[in-house]
A and B are shown apart, each in its own frame.
Chain A
Amino acid sequence: MRILTLVAQEILKDGKEMPIVTFLVFQDKIISLKYNKTNENKNGIHHGEYLSFKDLPIGFLEKHKEDITLYVNVEPCIMCDGMIKLVGLNNVVFSCENERFGSSLLPNLVKNTNKIAMIPFIYRKEAIVTLRQFYLQENKNAPKTRRKEGRTLDFETFPNIKWSSYFTDFDDFYRTIFDTEYMDRVLAEKIYYNNLDLEPLDLKLIQPNSEPLIEGIINDINNFWEAWREPKRNKISIS
């Protein structure tokens, strides 16, 4: 999730697309890195999640769906939530809420068909600041560029979290977010009932001058897929 936040910063520097990044993680390795390409591809449904799923080798997703975890810095939208259900992923981790399209906007009746374990709000403040930085950029494609010089970046105030719209009750929240052996129940209660954030803002993660990461990660992903084909053949012959 730390790496994802840094990658989002890198996309942000490019300035063309919403800095929404998705990772698919399988056997502790990142096997896919995609981000929103709605503007570049002129396609309203080319969200990171869709591109990630689409890019995997034929049949891989179906076979390993239960062992793949989706990491994304913004809550999946209603469409992507539908995709996650259709694909059958079990684990989703995300950073900040999506007030416009997020699947938590759905009425309970529809939401309850959702059996995915969602872990929300990991590095939430960083994700919010990244999005704020994106909206501060002047849109060069817009016919009339809005002047945004007067606006400043807000590091201090953050909207309240509604934990209750993501978990059925406190116990559900506690089990999902905290490791019961080590974590303080009192602290967890404080966070849940006061709608607090999990951790303070880490300024290091939103520094634009961090080292470029994407190329390295994509190389790793390519290496993974190169290596993947061989053991797969062996596995089949053994079994």
Chain B
Amino acid sequence: MKAKPIFDVSFFDIDNENSVIKFKDDNINFNIIHPSCLEDTIGYKENVEMKHLLRFRQAQILDKTKTNKFFNAIDSPFLKDKKYSYIKRVNTSESLRIVLCADEEYTQVELNEFLKKKDLIENVDYKMINKLASIPKYPPLSKYINDKWSERYWPMNWKGNIKENKLKQVFLNDYQFLKYPKFKSLFDVINEYKINNKLTLNDHITLFYNNKTDEYDVFKDTQKVTKFALSHSIINGIDHLCSNKNSDDYLLQDYFVITTHEPCQMCCMALLHSRIKLLLFDTYSHKQVKMLSGDDFSLASYKPLNWEYQVLQYNFLDS
């Protein structure tokens, strides 16, 4: 049985600084747990602090017919990085200026040598500008800010709110995000399980939902029964699902995981090894070091690792 992909664009509300997914019909907010959201808010501010500015070396082009030659004259990995594709190369506001590379990539002497190889001669075709160009590190997040920054710092390409684009791609294309009533029914399952097993708010319960087959399984911690410190509900769940699996690989790529508590280091990484798509939890961890909701660290979207999953927070437990 295959469920039809469910598309719903009604839940995006990213016009302000808080990262939430809003279900408009029900007026419900899921918090998006993602540390880079902190950086994202810079794109909403007109004035950018010094520490969030990048420095680039720039030159004034004297012979306008040769402008095209400048684009490929210098190999700057920095400017080629997609991350910085919002920066336009040329500024025409007062004089014709071009950014050549990041401050730390090459010295002015090296730049002159590169340009010489392309038959571009200093003080004839171009003039080096000693003052570095300051450009915000992160792309603007609204058209208004884009225009303001283009005036104040350097011209920029407006490509839409990247945060919104990224979320749309993740939740609509990759995850085929569920509508709220589906989530609600899964929350009800957990709450019912809690009552039936006489569990309290301190007990950890995890639900694994298969997005493709529409099946789900609920698990609880069993450390006390098995006298084994590692029988957390998430580990129990993965072990159970994998031992009843038909396919040949070890991945759980179609799964959404809903759990009552922010998971520990072992469980976060176990989910990552199993390549799940989405985790939603209810209660934030009280530990000093938080694995997912830390200020500048989240294991679910940690760059050195080979997989990342989205994490949402929403209070669904009945107290």
Contacts and interface: CB of A to CB of B under 8 A. Distances in A.
B243 A62 contact: no
Interface of A: 38-39, 41-46, 50, 53-54, 58-59, 61-62, 77-83, 85-88, 100-101, 105, 107, 109-110, 113, 141
B171 interface: no
Interface string B249-291: 1111000000000001111111011110000000000001101
Contacts of B230: 50, 53-54, 83, 86-87
B226 interface: yes
A109 B305 contact: no
6 contacts: A44-B252, A45-B235, A59-B227, A80-B266, A86-B264, A110-B297
B312 to A, nearest CB: 22
B301 to A, nearest CB: 13
A42 B247 contact: yes
Given A38-B250, A79-B269, A86-B266, A44 B243 contact: no
B227 to A, nearest CB: 5
Contacts of B239: 43, 45
A52 to B, nearest CB: 11
Contacts of B289: 109-110, 113
Given A44-B238, A110-B265, A100 B306 contact: yes
Contacts of A81: 265
B245 interface: yes
A44 B273 contact: yes
Contact of B265 (A38, A42, A85, A109): A85
Interface in B281-319: 288-289, 291, 294, 297, 299, 302, 304-306
Contacts of A43: 238-239, 242-243, 250
A45 B270 contact: yes
A45 B265 contact: no
A68 B101 CA distance: 55
Given A43-B250, A101-B305, A87 B269 contact: no
Interface residues of B, number: 38
A43 to B, nearest CB: 4
A77 B269 contact: yes
A42 B266 contact: no
Contacts of A83: 230, 266
Contacts, number: 97
A96 B265 CA distance: 22
Given A44-B273, A77-B269, A110-B297, A39 B250 contact: yes
B92 to A, nearest CB: 43
A61 B228 contact: yes
A58 B229 CA distance: 10
Interface in B12-49: none
Nearest to A38: B250
B94 interface: no
B257 to A, nearest CB: 14
Contacts of B235: 45
Contact of B228 (A41, A44, A58): A58
B81 interface: no
- Which of the listed residues B235, B267, B269, B306 has the most CB atoms from chain A within 10 Å of its own CB? B269
Contacts of B267: 82
Closest 6 A/B residue pairs (Cβ): A82-B266, A79-B269, A82-B265, A43-B242, A44-B273, A44-B250
B248 A62 contact: no
B294 to A, nearest CB: 8
Contact of A107 (B238, B252, B269, B297): B297
Given A42-B248, A42-B249, A42-B250, 12 more contacts: A44-B251, A44-B274, A54-B228, A58-B227, A61-B229, A78-B265, A80-B266, A100-B305, A101-B305, A105-B304, A107-B297, A113-B289
Contacts of B306: 100
Nearest to B235: A45
A79 B273 contact: yes
Nearest to A58: B227
Nearest to A105: B304
B263 to A, nearest CB: 10
B298 to A, nearest CB: 11
A54 B231 CA distance: 9
Contact of B297 (A61, A77, A80, A109): A109
A141 B250 CA distance: 13
- Which of the listed residues A39, A59, A110 has the most CB atoms from chain B within 10 Å of its own CB? A110
B238 to A, nearest CB: 6
Contact of B299 (A45, A78, A109): A78
B253 to A, nearest CB: 11
Contacts of A45: 235, 238-239, 242, 270, 273-274
A115 to B, nearest CB: 13
B265 A62 contact: no
